[in-house]
Chains A and B, each alone.
Chain A
Amino acid sequence: MDRFTWSNGLLEMNETMVIQQRGVKLYDGDDKAKLDVGVAMLTTHRLIWRDIKNHECCIAIPLSQIILFEEQAAGIGKSAKIVIHLHAAPANKEPGPYQHSKFSYIKLSFKEHGQIEFYRRLTEEMTRKRWENTPASQPMPAATRSQAGRTRAVGIVGIERKIEEKRKETDKNISEAFEDLSKLMVKAKQMVELSKSIANKIKDKQGDISEDETIRFKSYLLSMGIANPVTRETHGSGTHYHMQLAKQLADMLQAPLEERGGMMALTEVYCLVNRARGLELLSPEDLVNACKMFESMKFPLRLRVFDSGVMVVQLQSHSEEEMIASALDNVTEKGSLTAQEFAKLLGLSVLLSKERLLLAEKMGHICRDDSVEGLRFYPNLF
């Protein structure tokens, strides 16, 4: 069990899930491992195990560490098992649940069955060795060759060596990159410290600092990606960049908004705007911060947050009273409406139609009939 390393269990690029099986308990050699029951996952590159109750507890081992494996039949009161014999852990192995073990094999105990299929898939993956064709981008331990009775044709050795060299080269590039990255981070940290000091002084209102300088400071924070602790009533977290964006958005969204009944969910706006840009995309935060400035910059659009937390951009011309009045008209005309029916009527998304109905309900114009069949609204006759 000392071959395993801690993992976040997320698949790497090029790595795909092959099979997963619940109810698997791990054994360190013949002893039960000090872990609970979990989910065993076989991917093209690794064997991953995650505790089913405690999601944080997740470990993995590369398939290349496996020498051979065999089935162990179930017995009375004993679940079927797969015994897996492993190579020694490489020197540079990352930490895992066990520092060391006297055993060089582990067992997977299948308390909820599934061992037959798991064994079959494991056999397949160990034969195909897909991890060699498409190395997962994490640095793998040095290539281990199976010693258990496999013969290799000459010539493959040359190919193997090339793969190994490429891997070493990639590792070298990555470690050089990491080194440079660490140095860069030290400098970035200095910037963070400086900005904190400035921010504190602004907060304590020490010294003389103009509105303009505050805006400039905010834009520095934006460039570095440092969270802004200073907000002024006038512009919130806005900077000149966001003001420009707000103007662009106001121009760009006018037509689409009118086509969609005056309202669009912010997720939809995000996709629309970024698809149109193609490059130099907006971050979700950029979009939100720009939209927050619509009001103060006197554009005819508003960012609006519903009680459910859904955020929309809506045209000023579509006033609240109008929307509610027309919603009431529609409901009265049809006798009753669900969000889906309303959506079809208006050509809006179901999400936004629901919000409108909820709003009309909040104002007391319509009331709901909530059943398993769905949520239906009626004119409020009370």
Chain B
Amino acid sequence: MHRRGVGAGAIAKKQLTEAKYKERGTVLSQDQIVQMSKQLETFKSHLEEFASKHKQEIRKSSQFRVQFQEMCATIGVDPLASGKGFWSEMLGVGDFYYELGVQIIEVCLALKHRTGGLITLNELHHRVLKGRGKYAQDVSQDDLVRAIKKLKVLGNSFEMIPVGGSYLVQSVPAELNMDHTIALQLAEKKGYVTVSEITYNLKWERERACHVLGHLLKEGLAWLDSQAAGEPQYWLPALFSELTSHEITPEETKRMTED
């Protein structure tokens, strides 16, 4: 039995072979796609194994979902890109978020006539939970935020505006620029804002303040109370229930959201 691969001759031959492989490596051959297809099958079975052990975790633990999403993002994978993706099919993440997307759209649509298409994340959370009923899994606000991010793809439809301690979710493509956003943030405290408050707090000219408030009015995001003592007040229905929830009892809140 002679030993193989030893000796100067063998080493030289090996180097030659490696060089040849390197050269071949720069040219795409069918082999690489076939290789990928094989690796994909292997990966799929690993994923299946993972799913059989931990699928419950994804459903039950919103923190696990957060971690999972962040890991995927780090390696450059979007588990929610397609319902046909492995992640979606085997771990069930897809259906969870896509259905949430449907519920979010429906809540926003139902309230649009009142809020003009603007709603706080808190109220959205509240209403979505209510709509899901007693036996469905609960969702966290992080889940909502991720579902909304996916919905953006459907044509400029959703934006999240940071306001106060949380966010406003905008579900209609009203054009809101920085000025409008800042005015909304100013109104967050009391649910309304006046021209004077804007000129005083933000140091804008009166005309700019009027223009911005006028736009909000036109888009149906603000209502005008021209009979208020002092000067007219621009109220934002999107912020209403945020305010009143601090002063009314839980029972009253429940009745309000049943409206």
A residues sitting closer than 8 Å to B (CB atoms) are 8-15, 17, 19-20, 22, 38-39, 41, 48, 50, 52, 55, 117, 137-139, 173-174, 177-178, 180-182, 184-185, 187-192, 194-195, 197-198, 201-202, 206-209, 213, 216-217, 220, 222-227, 241, 265-267, 270-271, 274-275, 279-288, 305, 308-312, 351, 370, 372, 374-375
B83 and A190 form a contact (CB under 8 A): no
Check if B140 sits within 8 Å of A177, measured CB to CB.
Answer: no
Interface centre among B81, B150, B166 (most CB of A within 10 A): B81
Q: Could you tell me the distance between the alpha carbons of A246 and B68 in the complex, rounded to whole angstroms?
A: 31
B81/A270 in contact, CB under 8 A: no
Closest 10 CB pairs of A and B: A311-B155, A309-B156, A207-B28, A39-B165, A10-B141, A13-B138, A281-B98, A201-B28, A284-B153, A189-B75
B7 at the A interface (CB under 8 A): no
Q: Is the CB of B81 within 8 A of A285?
A: yes
CB distance from A53 to the nearest CB of B (A): 10
A280/B95 contact (C-beta < 8 A), A9-B165, A13-B62, A197-B32 known: yes
Q: Are A280's CB and B83's CB within 8 A?
A: yes
Closest A residue to B53 by CB, please name it.
Answer: A180
Residue positions of B touching A, CB distance < 8 A: 26-30, 32-33, 35-37, 39-40, 43-44, 46-47, 50, 53-54, 57, 60-64, 67-68, 71-72, 74-89, 94-95, 98-99, 101-102, 105-106, 122, 125, 137-142, 145, 150-157, 162, 164-166, 172-173, 175, 189, 214, 217-218, 246
Check B76–A308 contact: CB distance below 8 A. Answer: no
In chain A, what residue has the closest Cβ to B245?
A17
Residue of B nearest to A186 (CB): B75
**Would you mind naming 5 contact pairs between A and B with Cβ atoms under 8 Å apart?**
A177-B64, A224-B85, A224-B86, A282-B98, A283-B82
Report the bound CA distance from A187 to B175 in whole Å. Answer: 43
A154 to chain B, nearest CB (A): 32
Asked if A206 contacts B154 (CB within 8 A), the reply is no
Known contacts A280-B83, A281-B98, A284-B101; is-contact A207 B78 (Cβ 8 Å):
no
Which A residues are CB-close (under 8 A) to B125? Answer: 11
Q: Beyond A182-B71, A271-B102, A312-B155: 14 further Cβ-contacts under 8 Å?
A: A11-B125, A11-B140, A39-B165, A181-B54, A188-B77, A208-B28, A266-B154, A270-B102, A270-B105, A281-B95, A283-B82, A285-B153, A308-B175, A310-B156
Report yes or no: B164 in contact with A22, Cβ–Cβ below 8 A.
yes
Are B81's CB and A12's CB within 8 A? no
User: Would B43 and A271 count as touching, CB distance under 8 A?
Assistant: no
Once the chains bind, are A194 and B35 in contact (CB under 8 Å)?
yes
Given known pairs A137-B61, A191-B40, A283-B150, the reply for A20 and B156 (CB within 8 Å) is: no
For B98, give its contact among A198, A220, A274 (CB under 8 Å).
A274
Q: When the two chains form the complex, which single residue of A185, A194, A351, A375 contacts B39, counting CB atoms closer than 8 Å?
A: A194
A192–B139 alpha-carbon span in the complex (Å): 30
- Residues of the A chain whose Cβ atoms lie less than 8 Å from the Cβ of B141: 10-11
Tell me the complex Cα distance, A267–B170, Å.
Answer: 14
Cβ A222 vs Cβ B84 within 8 A: yes
A87 to chain B, nearest CB (A): 22
Chain B residue with the shortest CB-CB distance to A280 = B83
Interface of B is mostly: helix
Across the interface, A209 reaches (CB within 8 A) one of B33, B35, B37, B64, namely: B33
Contact check: which of B36, B63, B246 meets A217 at CB < 8 Å?
B36
The reply to whether B151 and A198 contact each other, CB–CB distance below 8 Å, is no
A198 contacts B84, CB within 8 Å?
no
A213 to B28, CA, bound (A): 12
Taking each of B44, B89, B101, which has the highest tally of chain A beta carbons within 10 Å of its own beta carbon?
B101
Structural contact, B76 and A226, CB atoms closer than 8 A: yes
Q: Complex Cα distance A198/B105, Å?
A: 38
A283 contacts which chain B residues (CB < 8 A)?
80-83, 88, 94, 98, 150
Interchain CA distance A22-B187 in the complex, whole Å: 13
- Contact A284:B150 (CB < 8 A) given known A20-B164, A224-B85: yes
How close is A127's CB to chain B, nearest CB, in angstroms? 16
Whole-angstrom distance between the alpha carbons of A309 and B33 in the complex?
A: 37
CB distance from A187 to the nearest CB of B (A): 6
Contacting residue for A213 out of B30, B157, B246, CB 8 A = B30
Q: Which residue of B lies closest to A228 (CB)?
A: B81
Q: Is the CB of B75 within 8 A of A10?
A: no
Q: State the CA gap A55–B79 with chains docked (Å).
A: 27
Cα A310 to Cα B87 in complex, Å, equals 29
| Contact between chains at A374 and B218 (CB < 8 Å) | yes
Contact A187 B46 (CB under 8 A): yes
- For A308, give the chain B residue with the smallest CB separation: B173
- Complexed CA–CA distance, A117 and B153 (Å): 42
Shortest distance in angstroms between A239's beta carbon and chain B's nearest beta carbon?
8
Q: Are A17 and B81 in contact (CB under 8 A)?
A: no
- Are B62 and A137 closer than 8 Å at their CB atoms? yes
A202–B50 CA distance with the chains assembled, in angstroms: 32
Report A258 CB to chain B, min CB distance, Å. Answer: 21
B46, A220: Cβ atoms closer than 8 Å: no
